Amino acid sequence: MSAMTVYLPEIADVADFVNIMTSFPFEAQLHVGSYAVDAKSIMGIFTLDREQPVLLEAETADAAQLERLHTALAKYLTQPVH
């Protein structure tokens, strides 16, 4: 599993983010505190407070896929989470 923080303040950001996420075969969730939603669900993401960065957890250990994900999401990443 890999975790990173993303910031999706605009409606267009959410639509683009979901399009990117659906191109990957693994599951992923967005977390705000103990609340989590499917990172591939536009409706789920709109239930989150998007004024703040949110935690993205991608359920894959495939280094090549994670590198592709980081590259695809570069404009939404805020800081790495260890």
Q: Give the pLDDT score at 56.
A: 97
Q: Does 38 score more than 60 pLDDT?
A: yes
Q: Give the pLDDT score at 50.
A: 84
Q: What is the pTM of this model?
A: 0.89
Q: What is the pLDDT of residues 18-30, one digit of tens each?
A: 999 999 999 999 9
Could you tell me the fold of the domain covering 2-80? Histidine-containing Protein; Chain: A; (3.30.1340)
CA-nearest of 74, 64, 65 to 5 is 74
pLDDT above 70 as % of the chain: 95
Q: Give the pLDDT score at 49.
A: 86
